[in-house]
Amino acid sequence: MAGKLTLLDIAKRTGNDPQVGIVESMIQSNALLQVLPFRSINGISYRYAQRKGLPTVSFRGFNQGVTASKSVVQQITIETKNIGGRSQIDKLLAEADPQGVQHARAEEDMSFLAAMGNLYNSKAFYGNATTSPLEFNGISSMLNALTGTAIGAGGSTGSSIYAVAFNDAVSPQGRMRGVEGILGNGKNISMVDMGLYYAVDADSNNYLAYTTEFEFAPGLAVYDSRSIGRLANIDSTHKPSVTLLNQIITAMFPFVPSMFFCSKQTYNWVQDLKGTTINNVTVGNNLFERVTQFNGIPILIDENISDSETAIS
């Protein structure tokens, strides 16, 4: 991903230490958010061209013409969606903390940051703007819409391994970009200290609370259907195999997956590939090492990937 900036890279470039701390807290348990490159845009929408077909060309003789033709380009608009949160801790409770008000507030704020990171990470896989208009479309929705690479392992309700290409690819269509996160309004996640603010209890009564407002306006851009792939319908009797993972990689060509993402359970099943014999060659079977990559592509655990996905056809 040379030259591409992650969420943390963008925060570091601002030279703002608090912003770096905010992002570090938000991405701790989110494998995708740690490595996904981001693009910062002005406003909340981002438009790009996706080439779907090449024009027709031919050899031409002297005093002979050629038939005019056009390439087929589809215009795609990515819209960022708003994720917000409000942390409130009772003034009396915060001031009773033996380590001080700021410690009490920081503990609560960390929970909000983790929740916002989890929400984005989850929707990057499962977001569906058709059924939930406030969300952006995630990888599984885009695979369906773009008729992308989705191969079934043969099970019913189970989990998936998602293959995502961040790097550019070169094909007859020219250079094509992979997958990017989008930051709306030209800014990273913001955390604004509102100070003491009236909160409302269950009986609609007011009380003073230390308040922090959180704002994040992200989206997800998939520039080509071949930049994402999915091995789905994985369960205890239909596990990942070398053959199936190779099918994903081949179908995504000319893109090469940057990472594979899967749940903890699926990651454990990947370990069963050790000792597999392919073309008379046995995959390494060191009992004291875990499989962390496939064909040089890292395999990462992402806790936002479900073990009970709807089966794909």
67-116 pLDDT, tens digit each: 888 877 778 888 899 999 999 999 999 999 999 999 999 988 888 988 99
Give the up-direction half-sphere exposure of residue 27: CA atoms within 13 A in the CB hemisphere: 19
Closest CA to 240 of 161, 140, 158: 161
Alpha-carbon gap, residue 137 to 218, rounded angstroms:
11
DSSP 184: G
DSSP 271: G
Q: Which residue in the block uniquely carries the two structure tokens 């191969």?
A: 151
DSSP 195: E
Sheet holding 218-222, edge to edge: 38-40, 179-183, 218-222
pLDDT at 19: 81
Alpha-carbon gap, residue 17 to 27, rounded angstroms:
16
How does strand 159-164 pair with strand 259-262? antiparallel
Burial class (CB in 10 A: 0-12, 13-18, 19+), 295: exposed
pLDDT at 120: 93
* Residue 73 vs residues 53, 182, 205, 224: alpha-carbon distances, Å: 7, 22, 57, 12
pLDDT at 144: 74
Element housing 11 (H / E): helix 7-13
Reading the block at residue 167, the tokens are 């790097």
The pTM (predicted TM-score) of the whole model is: 0.86
* Phi, psi angle pair for 23, to nearest 5°: -65, -40
Closest CA to 235 of 162, 294, 139, 308: 308
Alpha-carbon gap, residue 147 to 168, rounded angstroms:
20
CB 27 within 8 A of CB 7: yes
Question: 237-252 burial by CB neighbour count: b if 16+ within 10 A, else e?
Answer: ebbbbeebbeebbebb
Low-confidence stretches of the chain (pLDDT < 70) are 1-3, 15, 52, 145-148, 275-288
pLDDT at 78: 83
pLDDT at 281: 52
Closest CA to 225 of 267, 280, 164: 164
pLDDT at 312: 82
pLDDT at 13: 83
pLDDT at 26: 85
